[in-house]
Chains A and B, each alone.
Chain A
Amino acid sequence: MARTLINAPASARRGEVVEIRATIGHPMETGFRAGEDGKVLPRNIIQTFSCRYNGELVFSAELFSAVSANPYIAFHTVATDSGTLVLSWEGDNGFSQTESLQLTVTA
């Protein structure tokens, strides 16, 4: 399990736009770099990121080698109903991680 750091408000008013910032510990090896033995290191990156809000996809991203190590993604969503935000990362070598957070929506 990679370490994640997610910054999002715990509660918001209905209709308010909230910002979600997420970082995950990952080397994001590009596949273009040579290792100490001179051989090219195989690519190991996170390829997709998605955010589901009560099951509905609200944001997703496709990442390439040009994204820095420990990828950081900041995006927004509208607070509609109280519920769960599920963030998931998937990548090379079967990498998969899911984190969920609660958002309480007040009237």
Chain B
Amino acid sequence: MTHSRHPPALPRRRQLLAGAAGVVAGVVLRPASAAAGDLAVAVSAHTQGAPVRAGKVKLDVAELVDNGNVVPITITVDSPMTAADHVKSIAVFNEKNPQRDVARFMLGPRAGKASVGTRIRLATSQQLVAVAQMSDGSWWSHTVNVIVTLAACIEGDT
């Protein structure tokens, strides 16, 4: 007799679980994979499709960031910086800010040392990539993961 009290339209537990799983997958997986793809697309657009190898570049940033509004970064490239062999440009890209570009630096043999520093904003925990182009046309990169506890631009991140 107790069973008859339940309204007939109540969905079964399995249906509920299946529905919830679908929602979770949709919310969590889709933006993550899209963002990771965006990062690769931004880097390949910058290099115009040229192959990028890991190495030579060192992107120095704290692994655990307290304040996403001001994140000091330093990019150093292993290069003698002579007229024959120098770094032409260094670009930094992020994975999950509203915009993939962070900054681009143009260097030359007059720079003397391939090391630049700046302070950036990070909207959330994400990957950062520094890409450097050498005078011989080769591209090198360094990818790091950063964890951000207090994010920049929370109000715009809906």
Residues of A within 8 A of B (CB): 17-18, 21, 30, 32-34, 40, 53, 56-69, 71-78, 80
Cα A61 to Cα B119 with chains together (Å)? 13
- Identity of the chain B residue whose Cβ is nearest the Cβ of A53 in the assembled complex: B110
**B53 interface residue per 8 A CB criterion:** no
A68 and B121: CB pair below 8 A? yes
Tell me how far the C-beta of A36 lies from the nearest C-beta in chain B, rounded to whole angstroms: 10
A34 and B104: CB pair below 8 A? no
A74 and B116: CB pair below 8 A? yes
A33 and B155: CB pair below 8 A? yes
Select which of B112, B116, B119 is within 8 A of A68 by beta carbon.
B119
Cα A80 to Cα B108 with chains together (Å)? 14
B120 and A30: CB pair below 8 A? no
B155 and A67: CB pair below 8 A? no
Cα A61 to Cα B110 with chains together (Å)? 15
Cα A73 to Cα B107 with chains together (Å)? 13
Select which of A32, A57, A60, A68 is within 8 A of B69 by beta carbon.
A68
A30 and B102: CB pair below 8 A? no
Select which of A21, A33, A60, A72 is within 8 A of B153 by beta carbon.
A33
A17 and B107: CB pair below 8 A? no
Tell me how far the C-beta of A86 lies from the nearest C-beta in chain B, rounded to whole angstroms: 14
Cα A64 to Cα B121 with chains together (Å)? 10
A73-B99 contact given A17-B112, A33-B153, CB 8 Å threshold: no
A67 and B102: CB pair below 8 A? yes
The contact sample of 9 A-B pairs, CB cut-off 8 A, is A59-B107, A61-B118, A64-B99, A66-B97, A67-B102, A68-B121, A69-B69, A71-B119, A74-B118
Kindly identify, within residues 54 to 113 of chain B, every residue whose CB is under 8 Å from any CB belonging to chain A: 69-71, 74, 94, 97-99, 101-108, 110-113
A77-B156 contact given A32-B98, A72-B117, CB 8 Å threshold: no
Chain A contacts of B112 at CB under 8 A?
A: 17-18, 76-78
**B145 interface residue per 8 A CB criterion:** no
Chain B contacts of A77 at CB under 8 A?
A: 110-112
Chain A contacts of B102 at CB under 8 A?
A: 64, 66-67
Chain B contacts of A53 at CB under 8 A?
A: 110
A76 and B71: CB pair below 8 A? no
Cα A68 to Cα B105 with chains together (Å)? 16
Tell me how far the C-beta of A56 lies from the nearest C-beta in chain B, rounded to whole angstroms: 7
Chain B contacts of A40 at CB under 8 A?
A: 156
Select which of A62, A69, A73 is within 8 A of B117 by beta carbon.
A73
**B135 interface residue per 8 A CB criterion:** no
